[in-house]
Amino acid sequence: MSDDGLTISKGAAIRQGFMAVGLFGALGLALWVGGESVNSSGEAKPVTCSHGEPEKKPAQTPAEAGHVSGAQLCEALHRPDLADLLGTPGEVVKNANGGGSTFKPVGSDEEIHTPSGKIEFETYTVNLRVADDGLKVATVAKFLGDGTLPLTVLGHPAAYYSDRTISLSFNLDGSDASTGSGVPTRSLVVSRGTEDGGGTYELTLWRSDGGMPDDAVVLRLAETVLPTVPGWAAAG
């Protein structure tokens, strides 16, 4: 028996590869398990954000008081109008999860926390990650960009890139595992500050039918959700 329900962005894996050789900061990858809850009468109940194990967070300095958690990212995504924003009105949330991980860059004793939130519908899956790893939007565009012109989102430097998920299949007894190419993804990387000083929000969409998400959908979602994330810096 195998479970192939876990996917991550190939681009995210590439970014983590950069950091593994010490070129940049850290990007954590969170894996989630979730599902629709059912009450005693057998009726489905609305899905709420589940958070799994408590997130391990690095010690914060006063300047880091605005640290955002995976739970908060999940709640920011889990809006009542999310299906409408995606252009799939009437769809209900199948899974809603938040989590995070920490990474210690090569040659550094500092742990960097990377929280993520994910919402899954029948058509779309939406993932929002925050990376305080020092990585700039310009660097992401250079290594992962597809030629799309740089842009700004709500006054923040931003860039698109396309990718595919990686499907992870494994036996539940842990005896075997395999990987394969998944569905196309579209990501919008937005600087955490109004200047491209390092650190990003990354909003990624993919479709269960294998279609490429439209940029207009990604942008509409980013412009609506990001201002509700704790710590968002509004442009002056």
Query: By residue range, what is the domain housing residue 131?
Result: 2-31+68-228
Per-residue model confidence as pLDDT tens digits over 81-140: 999 999 999 999 999 999 987 777 677 777 778 899 999 999 999 999 998 888 899 998
First vs last Cα of the chain: how many Å apart? 55
Per-residue model confidence as pLDDT tens digits over 15-45: 544 443 333 322 223 333 333 433 334 455 6
For residue 59, tell me if it sits in a domain: no
Backbone CA torsion sign across 123, 210, 184, 179: positive
Q: Are 196 and 151 in contact (CB under 8 A)?
A: no
For residue 49, tell me if it sits in a domain: no
Domain count, the chain: 1
For residue 184, tell me if it sits in a domain: yes
For residue 207, tell me if it sits in a domain: yes
User: Helix 10-20 to helix 137-144 angle, to the nearest 10 degrees?
Assistant: 110
For residue 119, tell me if it sits in a domain: yes
For residue 233, tell me if it sits in a domain: no
For residue 61, tell me if it sits in a domain: no
Q: Quick check: 2 pLDDT over 50?
A: no
Per-residue model confidence as pLDDT tens digits over 173-220: 666 776 777 889 999 999 999 999 999 999 999 999 999 999 999 999
**What is the value of pTM for the model shown?**
0.76
* pLDDT range class, residue 3, cuts 50, 70, 90: very low
For residue 45, tell me if it sits in a domain: no
